[in-house]
Amino acid sequence: MNTRSLTGWLLIGGPILTFVVVGVLYTQLIGDQETAASSVKEMMAKPELARLLIGIGSLVFVSMLLGLTLFARTLRGDDKPGGGYADVATIIFAGVSALAIAATGLSGGALEASKLSETIAVNIEAVSQALFGALWFFMGVGFLLIGTAMILQKRLHVALAGFYIAFGAFVIIGSLYDLNLADTVGLVVWIGMTVAVAATGLLHLKEE
């Protein structure tokens, strides 16, 4: 499998499986992780299943981020409009991938720590959730930069690039300000992101 094929399939499989594993299975079978304390209690109720879903969820989520990292690399180049934006996006998504690995790893660590002390487990889970806050902010910046580079290079489809910019701006604003949006709004945005990233992978595979 060459790099373009790998990038395409990571972009297709990563977001779809993330939505299924994290958005559907984990939420329905374990809980919605509203707070660090409730998250730990939910994991403690079904530790084996929680451990399995955390591991799979981490793998597929990081796969999506690595796909975006590789896709951003294809937009780089001093001879390409917006190549500088793509350079920065590549670095950001590589860093976000590392943050995701750390954050999900801490959730797994919180589950293990709960065997000894629920209080320690909650503190570890709180750090994990704090890392996810930083992750979403920089993920928004990355989407904004990729979308801008795509528009400048007329890459793939302008509507897709426009969504990347809009999604990136929404995530950045939502990370800085409490928008008090209904859960259904967040779900719709997540589904939109899933479709957009998967469509990017599909179109990337079809590129000449």
Q: What is the mean predicted confidence (pLDDT) over 157-184? A: 89
* C-alpha radius of gyration, the chain, whole number: 18
Handedness of CA 74, 76, 80, 81 (dihedral sign): positive
Cα separation, 160 vs 205, in Å, equals: 15
Cα separation, 115 vs 186, in Å, equals: 33
Cα separation, 111 vs 194, in Å, equals: 28
Q: What is the pLDDT of residues 104-143, one digit of tens each?
A: 999 999 999 998 999 999 999 999 999 998 999 999 999 9
Reference 139, options 183, 172, 180; nearest CA is 172
Q: What is the pTM of this model?
A: 0.91
